[in-house]
Chain A
Amino acid sequence: MPEGAFFVIMVAKIVVVFGLMLLSVSYLTWVERKVIGDIQVRLGPMRVGPHGLLQPIADGLKLLFKEDIIPQAADRTLYILAPAVALIPAFISFAVIPFGDQVRLFGQTIDLVITDVNIGLLYVFGVASLGVYGIVLGGWASNNKYALLGGLRSSAQMISYELSLGLSVIGVVMLSQSLSLVEIVGAQARTWFIILQPIGFLIFLICAVAETNRAPFDLPEAETELVAGFHVEYSSMKFAMYFMAEYANMITVAAMTTTLFLGGWRGPWLPPVVWFLVKLYLVIFLFIWLRGTLPRFRYDQLMRFGWKVLLPIALANIVVTAVFVALR
Chain B
Amino acid sequence: MEWLVFVPLAAMALVTAVLVIILRNPVYCALSLVGTFFALSGIYLLLQAQFVAVVQVIVYAGAIMVLFLFVVMLLDLGHELPAWLQRDRPRLLIGAGAVAILLLELVIPVGSWTARAPHGPQTSEVVGAAGNTQLVGRLLFTEFLVPFEITSIILLIAIIGAMVLARR
Contact, chains A and B (beta carbon distance below 8 A): yes
Closest to B69 in A: A136
- Categorize the interface residue count of chain A: 20 to 34
A133 touches B58 (CB 8 A): no
Residues of A163-193 at the interface with B, using a CB-CB cut-off of 8 Å, are 179
Check A144 for interface membership: any CB of B closer than 8 A: no
Q: Given contacts A140-B27, A179-B133, is CB(A132)–CB(B66) below 8 Å?
A: yes
Q: How far is the CA of A9 from the CA of B70 in the complex (A)?
A: 42
The answer to whether B133 and A119 touch across the interface, beta carbons within 8 angstroms, is yes
A-side contacts of B28, CB under 8 Å: 77-78
- How far apart sit A155 and B54, CA to CA, in the bound complex (Å)? 20
Name the distance in Å between A89's Cβ and chain B's nearest Cβ. 10
A309 to chain B, nearest CB (A): 18
Tell me if B66 and A159 are in contact (CB < 8 A). yes
Determine if A126 is an interface residue (Cβ-Cβ < 8 Å): yes
B54 touches A123 (CB 8 A): yes
Judge whether B40 is part of the interface by a CB distance below 8 angstroms. no
CA distance A155 to B70 in the complex (A): 8
CB atoms of A122 and B51 under 8 A apart: yes
Q: State in angstroms the CA–CA spacing of A127 and B53 once bound together.
A: 12
Interface size on B, residues (CB 8 A): 22
Which residues between 25 and 81 of chain B lie within 8 Å of chain A, taking CB atoms? Answer: 25, 27-28, 31, 34, 50-51, 54-55, 57-58, 61-63, 66, 69-70, 73-74
**How near does chain B come to A315, taking the closest CB pair, in angstroms?**
13
**Cβ contact within 8 Å between A75 and B50:** no
Q: Does A118 contact B (CB under 8 A)?
A: yes
Which residues of B have CB within 8 Å of A123? Answer: 54
Contact with B along A98-137 (1 / 0, CB 8 A): 0000000000000000000111001101110110110011
Contact B50 A78 (CB under 8 A): no
Cα–Cα distance between A117 and B133 once the two chains are bound (Å): 12
A-chain residues with CB within 8 Å of residue B62 when the two chains form the complex: 125-126, 129-130, 132, 159, 162
In angstroms, Cα B66 to Cα A119, docked, is 23
Q: Give B34's nearest chain A residue, CB to CB.
A: A133
What is the CA–CA distance of A156 and B166 in the complex, to the nearest angstrom?
A: 15
Q: Find chain A residues with CB under 8 A from B31 CB.
A: 78, 137
Q: Is the CB of B54 within 8 A of A126?
A: yes
B residues near A148, Cβ cutoff 8 Å: 73
Cβ contacts B134-150/A at 8 Å (1 or 0 each)? 00000000000000000
Nearest Cβ in chain B — how far from A119, in angstroms? Answer: 5
Q: Which residues of A contact B34 (CB under 8 A)?
A: 133
| Pair A129/B57 contact, Cβ less than 8 Å | yes
Question: Counting CB contacts under 8 A, is A152 at the interface?
Answer: yes
B161 → chain A closest CB, angstroms: 17
Tell me if A200 counts as interface (CB < 8 A to partner B): no
By a beta-carbon cutoff of 8 Å, the part of chain A in contact with chain B is 75, 77-78, 117-119, 122-123, 125-127, 129-130, 132-133, 136-137, 140, 148, 151-152, 155-156, 159, 162, 179
Excluding A75-B27, A130-B61, A152-B70, 4 further A-B contacts by CB distance (< 8 Å) are A126-B58, A137-B69, A148-B73, A156-B70
Ranked 9 nearest A-B pairs via Cβ: A129-B62, A126-B57, A122-B54, A126-B58, A126-B54, A140-B73, A119-B50, A119-B54, A129-B58
- Could you pull out 8 A-B pairs where Cβ atoms are within 8 angstroms? A78-B27, A118-B131, A119-B133, A126-B61, A137-B27, A140-B69, A155-B70, A179-B133
